[in-house]
Amino acid sequence: MVSIIVPIYNSEKFLAETIQSVIDQTFQHWELLLIDDGSTNSSESICKKFCDVDKRINYHRKPNGGQASARNLGILKSSFSWIDFLDSDDLWTKNKLEKQLNEIEKHKADFVYSSVYELDANNNSQPQQINWKFGLASGDNFFKQLFSASGVTCSSVMLKKTLLNDIEKFDENPLLRGVEDWDLWLRIAKKSTVVLGIAEPLVHYRIHGGGVHHEMCRMFIGKKHVYEKYLMDKSIPRLAKKRQLRYVYRELMNHLYSENRTAEIKPFMRNFLSVDSANPATLKQALIIKIVPLRTFFWISNKLIYRVAYRLERLTYLLFLSRDFR
């Protein structure tokens, strides 16, 4: 039996189609937990119509607190030993549950995910193109892969509920909104024994203007906070931590500038200096930002400092960073 958790906030445009993609599954032994995170539109009435005709579907309403809190409530309310997550604008292929359960049985996996189709505003769907290694992995190897980037879409995940019993579930800190799933996968990887990535796309991941993936500053601020959790983790090479923090801070400051959030740039530059004070490129940036206008600072940073620093840093990583974290 599988417990499926759908966090909902003003999702009326796509919600019925999402719920229907669960009802249409070839595997039918499930419960569907619709967790309404304080919607103010017709999402509640849509949910209740489905509840009235299918007793496997349960609706729960809570005050608005974000997707992480909604998913955590779903975990608390869940009845079964396997947990699935589905975002309220995504769709599953009809064999999603059946395929993953068969693979779980075959490989005795604790954590399973798949690749996805990207679904655009015109309902055109194509496989997502990412540089990602699927297949079997230990939790340790999965962690190393995740630390650099995540190719794991939340709506594709099925995991053993016991993995959530002794960790903090989704981190509800608002600063992690948009990356709370990646943060959880990292923590699960520290405990999981068998991870399986299925290369076959089993989810239609919807790309639209209202998605959190378009909020670039929020995403990079979240990534910064996740990486800061591992600053003292001795299992991660120092260079791997530096590489990821440099990437996040540089991208974050550029997006702050493009979104005209200029008051936040210098404080983040000071934070960047505090975690990367030995890097010549960072030292140059910290000096230049004090003496030139921001427009000039970003031109110098992007056209001169980064171009040289990127080549030198890349060579350093190739020479001295362990292969597992490259």
Q: For strands 82-85 and 135-137, give the pairing.
A: unpaired
Verify that 18 and 153 share a domain, yes or no.
yes
Q: Which pLDDT score is estimated for 211?
A: 58
pLDDT digits 0-9 by tens, 201-215: 999 999 876 656 568
Clarify whether residues 243 and 193 are in a common domain: no
291 has a pLDDT exceeding 70: yes
How far is 271 from 298, CA to CA, in rounded Å?
Answer: 17
Give the pLDDT of residue 212. Answer: 60
> CA–CA separation, 236 vs 153, rounded Å?
24
Q: In which band, very low, low, confident or very high, does the pLDDT at 191 lie, cut at 50, 70 and 90?
A: confident
Final residue of a structural domain among 158, 182, 213: 213
Q: How many distinct structural domains can be found in the chain?
A: 2
Mean pLDDT of 305-321: 90
pLDDT for residue 62: 97
What pLDDT is stored for residue 213 in this prediction?
58
H or E segment to which residue 249 belongs:
helix 238-258
CA-CA-CA-CA torsion sign (17, 161, 178, 132):
negative
| Residue where a domain stops, chosen among 195, 213, 231 | 213
pLDDT tens figures, 51-78: 999 999 999 999 999 999 999 999 999 9
- Residue 193: per-residue pLDDT: 85
Residue 323 has a pLDDT of 80
**pTM score:** 0.93
Whether the pLDDT of residue 166 is over 70: the answer is no
Q: Give SS3 for 20.
A: helix
Same structural domain, 289 and 226: yes
User: For residues 17 and 190, which has the higher predicted lDDT (pLDDT)?
Assistant: 17
Instruction: Give the residue numbers spanning the domain of 270.
Output: 215-325
pLDDT tens digits along 116-147: 999 888 888 898 888 899 999 999 999 999 99
38-47 pLDDT per residue, tens:
999 999 999 9
Domain match, 142 and 189 both: yes
Residues 80 and 225 in one domain: no
Asked if 180 and 308 sit in the same domain, the reply is: no
C-beta of residue 25 within 8 angstroms of C-beta of residue 96: yes
pLDDT on residue 284: 95
C-alpha distance from residue 182 to each of 29, 95, 170, 203, 305 (Å): 28, 25, 9, 17, 30
pLDDT at 167 over 90: no
- 229 and 206 within one domain: no
Distances (CA, A) of 163 to 56, 110, 166, 192, 238: 24, 8, 7, 7, 28
CATH of the domain at 89: 3.90.550.10
Cα end-to-end distance, the chain, whole Å: 39
